[in-house]
Amino acid sequence: MKKYICFFFPLLFSSVACKQKNNQTGQNQKESFFPVLSFIRSQIAHVDTSLYPIKKIVFIDSIHSDTIFVPREEFRGLAKDFLETPDLTDEKYKKRYTEEKLFDEQLNRVIISYKPHNPDKEEIQNQEVLIAPGPSGDKVNSIIIDRQISNRDSSLQKTMIWQVDKSFQITTTAQKPGQPEITTIIKITWGEDEDE
């Protein structure tokens, strides 16, 4: 499961100019968005069938609150924020987002980012896929998703980071009227490379 080679990356490199936006004259309609949700589901399925020790670390307002080992059966539930994220490959979302591809020389990463045309109306404010190019193929390194969830009496901001084959982290900032803002960080680690 260590090799996530994306079939369209040879095409990606031929069309990516350093730090240059795709033009929006219908080109985005023809290209496929990166399947973030499917990719994360495959990661979860891998952990579900593995024997990795799974560790959960919780911080509330920067204070280390708890570190525990969790049963593998709970992993999918811990990752539910990722699974409940809207799938931008769905046609109804695709036309509402702009895809941008660039190569960051300092990070040595291809970055594919998705931003909404109208941020006030969308839950996903930003989604980024970082890909490490390599001689034996390109490998997805991490996925970052910023979500904004609002209802009548509260608002939640979630920054979710998935480190492929290693960990994920969800930072939630909750704000209720007349109450102080609360920030909770939950980090889940697994696999043999979790401390690297």
At 5, is the secondary structure helix, strand, or coil? coil
Tens of pLDDT, residue by residue over 69-97, are 999 999 999 999 999 999 999 999 999 99
Query: What does the mean pLDDT of the chain come to?
Result: 84
Cα-based angle 128, 185, 76 (whole degrees, multiple of 5): 70
Give me the pLDDT at residue 193, please: 52
pLDDT band of residue 31 (cuts 50, 70, 90) is low
Token pair listed for 30: 């023809």
Q: Where are the beta strands (DSSP E) in the chain?
A: 54-60, 63-70, 97-104, 109-116, 124-132, 139-150, 155-163, 167-175, 182-189
- Residues 147, 85 contacting (CB under 8 angstroms): yes
Q: Percentage of the chain surpassing pLDDT 90? A: 65
Token pair listed for 184: 């909770």
